Amino acid sequence: MINVTIVAATPQDAYMVANDKYGEFELLSAKQIHNKEDNSISCEITISISKEKFLQLPTLGDNDNRLGQIEDNNIEIVKRLFESKGISREWLDEILEPFVGSTVAENQKILVSYLLEEMDETIVIKKESFDKQKIMMFVGPTGVGKTTTVAKLAARYAYMMERPHRVALISLDSYKVGAIEQLSHFADIMKIKLFTANSIDEFKELFDRVGSYDIVLIDTAGMSPFDTEKLLKMVEYLSTNTTTKIEVNLVVSATVKYEDAKDIYETFSFLNLDSLILSKLDETRHLGSILSYLLLYPIPLSYFSIGQEVPDDLMVANKEYLLQKFIGDLNG
């Protein structure tokens, strides 16, 4: 649904304008506006119309060229606003192209509302599901907080859900100094079993040992998108078990640049990614780049990491949370 604001002299006039222009609509709110300069009173109503009706609004006629120039300029103003906040110009051009020369473009607020609606529809959320054993592997670049995210999820699954789950941890990160020690520290505190594997053979053997656990979380080494050797090693690990699907979760920092995010996705996508986890959401107020990434690659979002505290600073992915933060930046 698209929200539209209409201002007229009286509530009746506002309602008639809405009815003449949009036909069927849902009235969301109405209020009086007092203009102190001339001491006049007007009425503002906000209505909601379907996206389909919004797209069917008429285009401008041949005698409306001057108005058309004004409205096309509105489109450009809105594009520049979103682009300045990190949204891809390519995406903006594609989404707003149908409204060039259309009466829809007479109001910048309507265009903004439409873009936000498109963003809301495009972002995909992956719901939690625990109807059978889950084996989850976490991959991503170095320094995005994978190990801390794994610890947060282990605590969530083992202690913070309506039904506690038996959780096991596996560390494959033999590259980073202290990585296993960090995960071991979390495992000791939470009284969760931690296994380590330094080879494909050791990893294969672990599947028999973790068969009784509800959820198995696999921490991997952080790697550059250009580290072919490590990436091929991940493919070997993922190919070792044929009885239970290993869900692959890509962890990406919300502070990443758009161009780098594209490189990361295009590199890791051949692992058949199941979901995306956004980390470090507490470290930025500007989400345009990561939103552009989500609009280009609509991989399902599963979780947000919003701080360093284990287990508190983790939340199930919520598109409204992202969009509200973006709107705050847009209005800032």
Q: What CATH number should be reported for the domain holding residue 5?
A: 3.30.1660
In a domain, 170, yes or no: yes
In a domain, 128, yes or no: no
Question: Is 60 exceeded by the pLDDT of residue 114?
Answer: yes
- Across the range 233-249, mean pLDDT stands at 79
Question: Is 90 exceeded by the pLDDT of residue 224?
Answer: no
* 115-122, Cβ contacts within 8 angstroms, sequence gap of 24 or more: 115/78, 115/82, 116/323, 116/327, 117/1, 117/2, 117/51, 119/291, 119/295, 119/323, 119/326, 120/319, 120/320, 120/323, 122/294, 122/295, 122/298
Please state the pTM of the whole predicted model. 0.78
In a domain, 147, yes or no: yes
Q: Which residue has the higher pLDDT, 215 or 60?
A: 215
The answer on 310 and 275 residing in a single domain is yes
Question: Is 70 exceeded by the pLDDT of residue 284?
Answer: yes
Question: Is 70 exceeded by the pLDDT of residue 303?
Answer: yes
In a domain, 31, yes or no: yes
Percent of the chain at pLDDT > 70 equals 89
Tell me which of 122, 144, 169 is where a domain ends. 122
The answer on 155 and 70 residing in a single domain is no
Q: Which residue has the higher pLDDT, 287 or 14?
A: 287
How would residue 228 be classed by pLDDT, with cut points 50, 70 and 90?
Answer: low
Tell me which of 122, 148, 168 is where a domain ends. 122
In a domain, 325, yes or no: no
How would residue 13 be classed by pLDDT, with cut points 50, 70 and 90?
Answer: confident
Q: Which residue has the higher pLDDT, 123 or 22?
A: 123
- Model pLDDT, residue 60: 47
